[in-house]
Structure 1
Amino acid sequence: MRATIGSLSTATLKQLDTDLPWYRGLRPDERSALGMVAQKGIASFVNWYQKPVSPAWVLSDVFGTAPTELTRSISLQKALQLIRVVVQVVEDHVPFLAPVADQAPLREAVLRYSREVAFAAADVYARAAETRGSWDTRLEALVVDAILRGESSDALRSRIAAVGWTSQAPITVMVGSAPAEPNAGFLNELRRITGRLAEDVLVGIQGERLILVLGGVRDADKAYPRISELFGDGAVVFGPEAESLVAASTSAQAAFAGLTAARAWPSAPRPVSSEDLWPERVISGDDTARRALVRSIYRPLLAASNGLEQTLSAYLTLGHSLEATSRSLFVHANTVRYRLRRVCDVTGWDPLIPREAYVLQTALVVGRLAAATAPAGPGSAAAGATARTSRPGIGDKGVAAAGRAAAL
């Protein structure tokens, strides 16, 4: 048997080339690596047959020289096909290797040895998969951390490509508390569910917080509540949409700021948008929320004129009473209703809904403070006087009332 190792190896390589089309399509270096595995398998079988020992050595003896090349060149299914061909060649040569009396024990030894080689191959692929999984998890964590820190570099782009992110749709970051024991089973379930609701997802667990970077969410009104069920107890906040992963840090920062401020709104929905938490974020010292209120609500109200800012202010100050507001402004109640509808059209927030009225009131406060601290430019006083007095629909009495209010 030891004298025929060379001929068995040659016959095996010829049979691989004949029976396995994918083997013929490999590069020369890949064919060489697999041929080395086949030859070492035959040589190791001869050694084992001469002196049977524990099969634990099969893994290092047969696959120790080329585990990386093997897993990169072919799949586990193809590796098993290769083992089957090698075993078949050795079995076919049994009549030439031993006398008739010894052929049955030799065939049995070939089968036992092929079983151990098959298990060893499965072990090689399992270890390679675990290594790739661990590396992918670390790489994913690095990408999530870079997004949270606002990193924008070529390194981040290469990492994004390495994790397999393909979505070109808007990005949303959702944060909340992590479950008590986020084990591998939980992460698999999380990826399975989010995979049906979004095109792509990145998962990050930092201490007690769970971070999801979602790309291309399908039907957000239904997807967000379903995804929020995967988080632990407490608030779940999602940030505004971003154009890409590189720009997703804005969404992440808003979501984390909202998560910090969410405790100030115990009845907040789950999940809740970071924009719905603008008032709480302003009170907690979030300057981004303050600027957003001025930019999205206060300035559009001033630009719209038609008495929207004054009408809204009076309505909020007078306890949300249409009649009291109309008397204060010397206009008809229907005019107040019309202007409040215009406020909703201009800002997207409805003053007739208590929570949204609170957001609007906070916008008025921070907007006035911002205007008071802004440097006065040429003609700013005249412009302000014009804005206060030239509102159609108020009338002379309204102008006089506005003048008295300004004097006070």
Structure 2
Amino acid sequence: MSSKATPAEGAASGEGAVFDKAATLAWLRRISGDLATATTTRLEQSLPWYAGMPPARRSAVGLVAQAGITSFIQWYDDPTSTPWIAADIFAAAPRELLRSVSLQQTLQLIRITVEIVEERVASKSEDLREAILLYSREVAFTAADVYARAAESRGLWDARLEALVVDSILTGEADEELPSRIAALGWHGHGEACVLVGTAPVMFDVDQVRRTSRKLGVDVLVGVQGSRLVMVIGRAQAADAEEAEPDALPFIEIARLLEPSFGEGYLVLGPTVPALVDASQSARAALAGFAVARGWRHAPRPVEADDLLPERALAGDPVAKHTLVERIYRPLAAHSTDLVTTLWSYLDNGRSLEATARELFVHPNTVRYRLKRVSDVIGWDATGPREALILQTALILGSIGSADAARRRAPVRRSRDGAH
């Protein structure tokens, strides 16, 4: 007797398989509502985040679970429909659900739904159990793809928003929407801020900059403008904190640690401002310093914008001129005219104590004392070559300004016939 099945037996076997699958599909469709109800009950019992959601959000999550069960039945009927049926599960969810439910929570939802289906359905047949496992894998990959595309879209939007914020800071065109835009970027800083300007590298790793800034306890906004790289740095200080931590790194030290992220060339740090909304002041100084940094042959990297005040003033920067006069000339003139006279003479005589003493008819020790008083009053030491240049520029600008002010105050004399 032959062991091979006859054509009639084979046809009968095929008909039985078709009949069994059709019966299974009909059974699955009948119990789909019970499966969805059981899944919702298990979600409420197992997931605290689900139970704490608003009713509308819970309903949306329930729709996703129901869509998953329905989609599985359709896929079981036609496995070739996997690409579009699996994607349809998440199409039923409102857009805001992606923002309120994380990928981890979505995977928890999928796992519980699969558990319910396995408990109620997998015992029907081994073929059905294997189908559940295959389909759950497809759904998990689809969920990851949905969240990846959402994250990519959000990343592109954040990059555009960050570029807009940095541009607003650089141009000083801040409006009422700037604080809300900054908050949308996840800015945690409420303390001091400053701007760092340098050359953009060929391969810029913004993720490395953000990792470094987190370790340093600062927030960073990054903007690449052609060949120029701009970083707005702010201390990640709590909103209710009154002042920065006493052990907080100075911004110049932070700039040195961020320096490897910049390309070759000059790196200029703007002055510190009280808050991010005032960062345009720091940006103006940093940009002005970056434009003239080549005027200082041995400028350090990074260099503070205030150390480039002479170059900035020569280039016509009104902020630099005002800073030099207000921080050097006026304090010295208000303190003592002897200090101004001694500083002028000392700089004009090539920083020679003896020549200055002879010109002023005083002892060299008196010159030393007055120079020390100059340093105490304004914080700059005239005995150093670089600081001497800063001080001499300030004296020149202050004298010009004083002469202009004197001419404006001088009364206009008229002759008897009314002529000037």
Q: When the two structures are superposed, what TM-score results if normalisation uses the length of structure 2?
A: 0.84
2:102 is the alignment partner of 1:75: yes
Which aligned pairs between 1:5-24 and structure 2 lie closer than 5 A? Answer: 5-24=32-51
Match of 1:323 in 2: 354
1:239–1:252 contact (8 Å) kept in structure 2: yes
- Correspondence for 1:215: 234
Decide whether the 8 Å contact of 1:242 with 1:250 is kept in 2: yes
Per mean C-alpha deviation after superposition, the further-off stretch among 8-17 and 31-40 is 8-17
Give the conservation status (yes or no) of the 8 Å contact 1:237–1:273.
yes
Q: Partner of 1:350 in structure 2?
A: 381
In the other structure, the counterpart of 1:293 is: 324
Secondary structure of 1:331's aligned partner:
coil
Aligned ranges 1:8-407 → 2 under 5 Å: 8-53=35-80, 55-66=82-93, 68-94=95-121, 98=124, 103-182=125-204, 186-216=205-235, 218-220=248-250, 221-376=252-407
Measure the CA separation in 2 of the matches of 1:292 and 1:222. 23
| In structure 2, C-alpha distance between the alignment counterparts of 1:28 and 1:302, rounded to whole Å | 72
In the alignment, is the contact (CA less than 8 A) between 1:170 and 1:242 conserved in 2? yes
Q: Per the alignment, in what secondary structure is the counterpart of residue 200 of structure 1? A: strand
The Cα of 1:7 is off from its aligned counterpart by 2.3
Q: Matched residues in 1 for 2:410 and 2:335: separation?
A: 20
CA contact (8 A) 1:172 1:238 kept: yes
Q: Distance in 2 between matches of 1:21 and 1:342?
A: 69
| 1:361, distance to aligned residue in structure 2 (A) | 0.8
**Are the aligned partners of 1:201 and 1:215 in contact in 2 as well (CA < 8 Å)?**
yes
Displacement of 1:72 after TM fit?
Answer: 2.5
Residue aligning to 1:391? none
Query: What corresponds to 2:15 in structure 1?
Result: none
- Offset, 1:77: 1.5
What is the CA deviation profile of residues 326-378 of structure 1, one whole-angstrom value per residue up to 9, with x for unaligned ones?
A: 01110000001111111111121111001100111111111112122224466
What residue ranges of structure 1 are gaps of 5+ in the alignment?
381-408
Give the secondary-structure state (helix, strand or coil) at the position aligned to 1:309: helix
Change (3 A) 1:248 1:113: same
Q: Distance in 1 between matches of 2:96 and 2:361?
A: 85
Query: Residues of 1 paired with 2:327 and 2:304: CA distance?
Result: 15
Shift of 1:246: 1.4
Letter in 2 for 1:116: E
Alpha-carbon distance between aligned partners in 1 of 2:60 and 2:277, rounded to the nearest angstrom: 40
User: Residues 240-281 of structure 1, C-alpha deviation per residue, up to 9 Å, x if partnerless?
Assistant: 111111111110000000000101112101111111001111
Q: Distance in 2 between matches of 1:64 and 1:274?
A: 53
Q: Could you tell me how far 1:223 is from its partner in structure 2?
A: 2.1
How many equivalent pairs are there? 372
Q: Which SS does the other structure have where 1:350 is aligned?
A: coil
TM superposition shift of 1:301? 1.6
- Aligned-residue CA RMSD in angstroms? 1.9
Per the TM alignment, residue 18 of structure 1 is displaced from its structure 2 partner at its CA by 2.6
Secondary structure of 1:374's aligned partner: helix
**Aligned partner letter, 1:317:** D
Q: Determine if contact 1:67/1:124 at 8 Å carries over to the other structure.
A: no
Which consecutive residues of structure 2, in runs of 5 or more, have no partner in the other structure? Answer: 1-27, 237-247, 412-420
Contact 2:67 2:92 in 1 (8 A): no
**Kept in 1: contact 2:75–2:81 (CA 8 A):** no
Cα deviations across residues 53-99 of structure 1 (Å, max 9, x unaligned)? 15322442111121624322322112111111111111112267x4x
Q: For residue 71 of structure 1, what is the amino acid of its counterpart?
A: L
Identical positions, percent: 53
Matches of 2:215 and 2:200, distance apart in 1: 21
TM-score, with structure 1 as normaliser: 0.87
**Is the CA contact 1:239–1:273 (under 8 Å) kept in the aligned structure 2?**
yes
Whether the aligned pair in 1 keeps the contact of 2:60 and 2:94 (CA below 8 Å) is: no
- Given that 1:30 and 1:69 are in contact with CA atoms closer than 8 Å, whether structure 2 keeps it comes out as no
Q: Secondary structure at the match of 1:138?
A: helix
Query: Conserved in 1, the CA contact under 8 Å of 2:71 and 2:86?
Result: no
